[in-house]
Structure 1
Amino acid sequence: MTAPRLAALTAAPITAAPVRRLTQLVVGLCLYGASMALQIRGALGLSPWDVLHEGLTKRTGLSFGTITIIVGILVLLCWIPLRQRPGVGTVGNVLVIGVAVDVTLAVLPAPAELIPRIALLTSGVVLNALAAAIYLGARLGSGPRDGLSTGFCARTGASLRLVRTVVEVAVLTSGWLLGGTLGIGTVLYALAIGPLTQAFLPRLTWVEDSLSPDPRPAS
């Protein structure tokens, strides 16, 4: 893992460059919600967590965004026994993404033809990775779902790859059983999201040293 990616996963004090980083956080979370809506309208398969969200939406009749918020809150409660500490970005993740996805779904039509659906899916996956890099790069705290995986790693000593795989397989299976959309989009997301996010992170991660005054004395 590169240094910028490690920095993006480590929260920094909000007092450092708060306006720039809070703006980056909100923009990233709004785009993340929009990217979820693009994939939903593509109707070719969703990410594991969104398969669960869609399944619960079908079962409860609540909006996709409302379910996203509720699940986020429940996952955040799981942080308590794992001794994880939420940041501003964690709370923002729970609230902003759910609102953004519902707003985008309200204005984005669902095409019937395959080509537009493929375009929505691919653009949604790319935007999702970009948005994740933007909000993680603000270094104001990870989302509740990411924190769940890292919390399990810290408590059990298991690798992040193993824990995340187990969690996402369990989430995906539960969502599919509830009626969530599993398809080629799910496979595309699984294969592309990691490399794409890693490619975007170095360019979008806030680094405190880059904004520090030049320590060299004036000549």
Structure 2
Amino acid sequence: MGFGQKFRRTPHLTRRLVQLYAGLALYGASCGLTVRAGLGVDPWDVFHQGISRHTGLTIGVVSIIVGALVLLLWVPLRQRPGLGTVSNVFVVGLSMDGAMAVVPDAHGLAYQIPLLVAGVVLNGVATGMYISARFGPGPRDGLMTGLNKRTGWSIRLVRTLIELAVLASGFLLGGTVGVGTVLYAVSIGPLAQFFLRFFEIPGAGGEVRVASGPARDTAEDARISN
């Protein structure tokens, strides 16, 4: 019976791993598309973009460095990373740089708007894919849930404060804030919720509820277990 259980679980685990890494790769690519659209990016990428412009590092490399530093903040918050957490740090940044290497900057609204919309929708698809894999939250969401536990503040309040802080910092550093930032903020929650249902893996865990506000990693308002 033990062998039979392992045999049945293998395709299940394989699907989870495929969804995890495909989702993270698509997430990074979607961020690259929104950057190339030039109409504004999500709050964390505003921050990454601002740092990139002052350091000369690519935005993907900055994303990796920031993600690693945020992950270090998990230690005093006593958060436990999963495979998805560590993978998120590296795969998203590398994929983002890869997408930007093949997609040129958009010039003219006739190109910018479709590229922006494609990036936001793809972000929703990618979010649904890798959250449904249930290998742990991204580093920034772990920071959010950790602060929620330590302070007793609501998830929405903690997320809002974090997003506003990185958005303001990124804007001051020269990151792009615009209609794309607003579009991402109002649409990523509904998009992620829809695609979570689409990519849900039976038996992978309980329901994940998605908040309607902006998000970098998972747009979740419930902690994801491994």
With structure 1 as the length reference, what TM-score do the two structures score? 0.87
**Match status 1:36 vs 2:31:** yes
- Seen in structure 2, the aligned counterparts of structure 1 residues 194 and 75 have a Cα distance that, compared at 3 Å, is same
Report how many residues are paired.
197
**Match status 1:119 vs 2:125:** no
Q: Is the Cα–Cα contact under 8 Å of residues 29 and 95 in structure 2 kept in the other structure?
A: yes
State the alpha-carbon separation in 2 of the partners of residues 44 and 30 from structure 1: 22
**Match status 1:47 vs 2:42:** yes
**Match status 1:138 vs 2:138:** no
Greater RCO structure (CA 8 Å; 6+ sep): 1
Range 110-119 or range 92-101, more displaced: 110-119
Alignment-derived partner of residue 91 in structure 2: 96
Pairing of 1:119-198 with structure 2 (within 5 A)? 119-198=114-193
Alignment-derived partner of residue 19 in structure 1: 14
- Seen in structure 2, the aligned counterparts of structure 1 residues 209 and 147 have a Cα distance that, compared at 3 Å, is closer
Alignment-derived partner of residue 215 in structure 1: none
Structure 2 counterpart of 1:172, one-letter code: L
Structure 2 counterpart of 1:32, one-letter code: Y
Alignment-derived partner of residue 11 in structure 1: none
CA shift at 1:140, angstroms?
Answer: 0.4
State the alpha-carbon separation in 1 of the partners of residues 155 and 202 from structure 2: 24
CA shift at 1:202, angstroms?
Answer: 1.4
Structure 2 counterpart of 1:37, one-letter code: G
**1:10-38 CA-partner distances (Å, limit 9, x unpaired):** xxxx9893211111100000000100011
Q: Which of 63, 72, 77 lines up with 1:77 in the alignment?
A: 72
Q: Is the Cα–Cα contact under 8 Å of residues 28 and 135 in structure 1 kept in the other structure?
A: yes
With structure 2 as the length reference, what TM-score do the two structures score? 0.84
Q: Is the Cα–Cα contact under 8 Å of residues 44 and 182 in structure 1 kept in the other structure?
A: yes
**Match status 1:208 vs 2:171:** no
- Seen in structure 2, the aligned counterparts of structure 1 residues 95 and 209 have a Cα distance that, compared at 3 Å, is closer
State the alpha-carbon separation in 2 of the partners of residues 194 and 209 from structure 1: 21
Larger Rg: 1
Following TM superposition, the consecutive aligned residue runs of length 4 or more in structure 1 with deviations greater than 2 angstroms are 14-18
Cα RMSD for the two superposed structures: 1.6
Which runs of 5 or more residues in structure 2 are unaligned? 1-8, 206-226
**1:131-160 CA-partner distances (Å, limit 9, x unpaired):** 011011100011101111111111111111
State the alpha-carbon separation in 2 of the partners of residues 167 and 142 from structure 1: 16
